Amino acid sequence: MSDTAPTKRLYIKTYGCQMNVYDSERMADVLSPLGYGMTDTPEGADLVVLNTCHIREKATEKVYSELGRLREMREERLAGGGSRMTIAVAGCVAQAEGEEIMRRQPAVDLVVGPQAYHQLPELIARSHRARGERLSADFAPEAKFDALTPERRPTGVTAFLTVQEGCDKFCTFCVVPYTRGGEWSRPAADIEAEARSLAEKGVREVTLLGQNVNAYNGANEQGAGLAGLARRLAKISGLDRIRYTTSHPRDMDDALIAAHAELPELMPYLHLPVQSGSDKVLKAMNRAHTAQGYVRLIEEIRAARPDMAISGDFIVGFPGERDADFEATLQLIREVGYATAFSFKYSRRPGTPASAMPGQVAEEVKDERLARLNALLDEQARAFNRSQVGRTLPVLFERPGRHPGQLIGRSPYLQAVYATAPERLIGQIVPVRIEDAARMSLAGALAQELEPA
């Protein structure tokens, strides 16, 4: 990394998942030796990177709209005698539609897929030399991570840490296998080195990332799989909390369940998407699990860790979903009880099997089902938060709040917690007595007297 003051300005706009957040941070790392320092707005930036996501509906249209705005901004700057802005598109839309982006948007200087962003310095140099190679969309995660230093520049006391990429599951609605490639796991030693670097810089909590994070199978003398990796990272001094996302029910093994029971560092919060409560729909989705199999798995997890908070993903309006299938999803939600969840209307992703399936559900039906689903999930989330009132929870304070003297932190269950506290407590885990609960957050007071500063 460069120790000199930045001479060029870099703006990265990040769309989508936590892995894209991690990738954006690593892009900044690889560009730092070229003299790039981060800026909060594209105005005045020497390099703008759109780190894109292909999961959500109309993702591509949003990218093209943003590119049109950046092109106009660059033309206005050049007309006023300013410097030229380099525009790059990265991430999953770049991987899936790189050639189309270059065809439709000649103003784009670079297109780089999620496994090739370590090549950004070389690509930038080529683009500045008579517009050389502009597209890199290799599927080679090992090459990418070999090129990335374990040294990071964390921006707070929590950090994301990618441990696994890609997917072999081929759910019929999902583009990830086509944009991120097959499942691949980083070596445990490399992950540990990066985690130690983060802890040495004040990070107290890491969230391990993967498209199928609990399919992790990197070389690890602490035992196979994600459970062994968690045990290894739990030994790092100063690293007090470990989370992971996103998991697949097929890969939630006994060793990982046991780790939740035995490791206090492994937080009692699990994001385990089910997508539907109908076995017919699950089969059409190629999820390779059943609704009751998922419920039994949750029961096993809660038997090992009774205070486990469960989060999930749900898709309504999948092709062929009948009223009875949707009612089965509502019943599963009532049976499991979620602390929080994410819900979506099914939207066609070009090139996926589900996009060509018969029985596409009308938009007004999707809207009605989603409203009913969200009402139930909202009721459960509020109930879970209200259940914390009167408890004293260990809260990791992360940053100042919106009001003077207020700090914001996270409970073990990932809830935002607001409390009046001095800024010197940022980065510390402090007992907080919970006094009030809202839909998305808790409020409380310090549960013990502080020593004088």
Cβ neighbours, 10 Å, residue 318: 26
3-state SS, residue 130: coil
pLDDT over 90 (residue 12): yes
Distances (CA, A) of 291 to 274, 280, 318, 343, 374: 8, 10, 16, 17, 19
Per residue in 106-123, is it b (16+ CB within 10 Å) or e — as a string? eebbbbbbbbbbbbbeeb
Q: Find, among 242, 274, 269, the residue nearest to 163 by Cα.
A: 242
3-state SS, residue 5: coil
Q: What is the pLDDT of residue 132?
A: 47
Q: Find, among 173, 113, 110, 189, the residue nearest to 144 by Cα.
A: 113
pLDDT over 80 (residue 344): yes
How far, in Å, CA of 246 to CA of 180, rounded? Answer: 14
pLDDT over 80 (residue 450): no
Distances (CA, A) of 143 to 111, 119, 152, 229, 253: 18, 10, 18, 21, 29
Q: What is the pLDDT of residue 144?
A: 60
Name the pLDDT band for 79 (thresholds 50, 70, 90): confident
Q: Lowest-confidence range among 114-123, 129-138, 194-203, 367-376?
A: 129-138
Show the tokens assigned to 425.
Answer: 């407590």
Backbone angles phi, psi at 209, to 5 degrees: -115, 145
- The residue among 78 and 296 whose pLDDT is bigger is 296
β-strand 86-91 against 47-52: which pairing, if any? Answer: parallel
Q: Say what angle helices 323-336 and 363-386 make with each other, to 10 degrees.
A: 10
Distances (CA, A) of 381 to 13, 112, 352: 30, 39, 32
Q: What is the pLDDT of residue 155?
A: 85
Show the tokens assigned to 362.
Answer: 């009308």
Residue with tokens 């007595």: 433
Q: What is the pLDDT of residue 446?
A: 97
Name the pLDDT band for 100 (thresholds 50, 70, 90): confident
pLDDT per position as a tens digit, 308-326: 999 999 999 999 999 999 9
- The residue among 59 and 41 whose pLDDT is bigger is 41
Name the pLDDT band for 142 (thresholds 50, 70, 90): low
How far, in Å, CA of 228 to CA of 212, rounded? Answer: 16
Domains of the chain (ranges plus CATH)? Answer: 8-142 (3.40.50.12160), 145-386 (3.80.30.20), 392-446 (2.40.50.140)
Per residue in 44-55, is it b (16+ CB within 10 Å) or e — as a string? ebbbbbbbbbbb
Question: pTM score, two decimals?
Answer: 0.82
Q: Find, among 262, 289, 259, 257, the residue nearest to 275 by Cα.
A: 289
Mean pLDDT, residues 253-264: 97
